[in-house]
Structure 1
Amino acid sequence: MGSVTSLDYSVNERSFSNDNYWRFQGIMLSRNFLLTGVVLASAILAGCQESESSKAGASAAAQQMPKPQVGVISIEKRPVELTSELPGRTKSSLEAEIRPQVGGIVEKRLFEEGQTVSAGDLLYQLDDSTYESNVEQAQADLDSARATLTSTKQTYERYKTLKERNNVSQQNLDDANVAYLSAVAAEKRAVAALNSAKIDLAYTKITAPIDGKIGISDVTVGALVTANQSAPMTTIRATNPIFVDLAQTSVEQLRQRTLLNLDHVTLGDQSVSLVLEDGTAYPYKGRITTREVSVNEMTGSVTLRAEFKNPDGLLLPGMFVRGQINDLSDSQGILVPQQGVMRNVQGNAYVLVVNPENKVEQRLITTERAIGNQWYVTDGIKEGDKVIVQGSMKVRPGAEVTTVELKRDPQTGRMIEANAATTGQ
């Protein structure tokens, strides 16, 4: 029993010691957590004070920074001539393909290729011996028909007299009348045959139907040609005046009609200036004379025909040219320098405008076409708006700015201060 009591005492003493130990450890751990929390709270408080002081400093610095300066141009309405540049080709105002109207051997060619010919000039001479013989035969047939007509007419007249005396029967008189009428018809056929033979004989002389320049001959002396053959012998083209056929898309025509709905937009004088293939300007101006009434299904374009003087023969049929047409006139047009127009990610054009409070606004605009180094704008801005043309990259919508009025120098095209430009003038 005593040994058991000693064992229990030692166990209880050990248990008591372990409890004290863990209690001591808990007190120390709680103390450490408390100290850590105090340190963290102090650090956070110090950081907040530093952030507040930084914000106050930044605010003070922002108040001290000057407002960004931008160059603006005031929008003004002005008369604008709207031109369209279209591709085109020159075309003869008159063109005649020379083909024989009778067959035969070419005996002579009476022109120099490339020369200017007049209507009625003899170009080719065909062998006419057969046709002269046909004329003589037709003339003989006509003479025979006329002799028969004279005989039958006399018989008919005589029978009419005899019938009045009852010396011939009515049947004889009727037969004489029929013979006479047949002779009249035969005489008309003979006249027609003679005229046809003479026409064929005349066709052996092939003449120019129009004035113009004659091209290369596709037949030579000794060649056999046939009536109304498909291949022309040569071609004559009239080049003064000369036509220019310009191709305008149906979309462009619709845009023009939309603009014409505006009260201040009217049709231009329809004058046309040409730029040749080598980039030089044609010295004479033309004018639109005809517009095709249908759209070409293959190209989606409409043909506009302009007429030009060509006294020097500089324009040849088939040349490629570019025509600038003065097709519309806007009495209250708005032009914006291209350097002031930007595009967003959707591709829509916009400008930055300074409002009366000197704050930047973004405006979407509609650009109809480029005129020189400016955009012709039909919607989005109005007269009096101040569009930023310099310094737009350093401002954003809503920013407050200071402005400098600019003006385009008419001689150099550069933007200069409006006051400086006025002083210079």
Structure 2
Amino acid sequence: MTACRLCGSTSLASVVDLGATPPCERFLTAEQLEEPEVTYPLHLRVCTGCWLAQIPPMITPEDTFTEYAYFSSYSTSWVEHAREFVHGAVDRLGLDDDSFVVEVASNDGYLLRHVIDRGIRCLGIEPSKNVGQAARDGGVPTLTAFLGPETAATVREEYGPADLVVANNVYAHIPDVIGFTQGLRALVADDGWVSIEVQHLLTLMEFNQYDTIYHEHFQYYTVASAQRALASGGLTLVDVETLPTHGGSIRLWARPAEVAGEPGERVAELLAAEKAAGLHELSGYAEFRERVARVRRDLLKFLVGAAEEGKTVVGYGAPGKGNTLLNHCGVRADLLSYTVDRNPYKHGRFTPGARIPILPPERIAEDRPDYVLVLPWNLREELIGQLSFIHAWGGRLVFPIPSLEIVEVNP
């Protein structure tokens, strides 16, 4: 990486180097196990000019999102989160049956179906062909495309300007930050709103959530760097909310600069919190590397100890973050015999790099393992409830992030 993709500065400082791994969503078929895997450096740096944390664009969005393994609807809590957001946004913005809502990276329609339930016209823009087709099959109008200024102009001309543009968990996934932001501005009405949810770098670093660093995530935002990114496309941040999702996210509310006015009080509060944590200067990033190393050592110590004691350990979930963790820690099937996932797309496949088999969730009840390593730790409360049945044979849950924790569940 030679220059910051937002401000162009060549002053980029290392935050943490996770070695080289395959892209986290390239799940392998049994036939592919006999083939080589391409790995790419996974090295997070921060720009000392604009403080955007970023990794080099080793892969393109087209490499990852044309055929995608993640379907949002398989997470019950995530669907409920979307429902609450839609109802809150409708009330906050006064949307009605004359309004128009566009969601960028709309996945399988998990969010827009709630917009439809409110009688509001909507459109999803989803680059993944298989996931977008699932949305259309469910009755959610969806365009298969990547967002840029040209796509946005075409959508605006055909459908009209959007009163609300939603971009949840996609702002980190695009290497062309400026072009994407210009696309958001082209979609939204001149007096409209843009809502973006993205993981907060403040909580990522505070709680050792380094497994959310992977090749699909090209950048990692503070409120300060998000402000600058939005401004690059003609949008102004006017409000921000903190959310528990993905271990700690921010919801950015932005408007066209011409009508935005001054940022609200919550923006100033979070900027102050980031500054106090040292994230607006290089010193705040100094200790993260050692905290990451501690997570790795603790997980390996537990897995090796369990194996030596003859205990069985299996995984729950096959999320992208789990693949960063497994590959960075060097975990293979001798330490984690398999993992399970609710998404049928992944069944019979293997995790990239670590090559851990992925099976249906029912396998846990059949095998009665001693420990279940929870890879999507961000769904902690949901999964503690779903997996409470392991109490019947004395099974326990293991959470690796922010630090290793072994949890006894109650029925």
Higher gyration radius (CA):
1
TM-score by length of structure 2 reads 0.19
The structure whose residues are more often strand, as a share, is 1
Q: Which has the higher contact order (CA 8 A, sep 6+)?
A: 1
TM-score by length of structure 1 reads 0.18
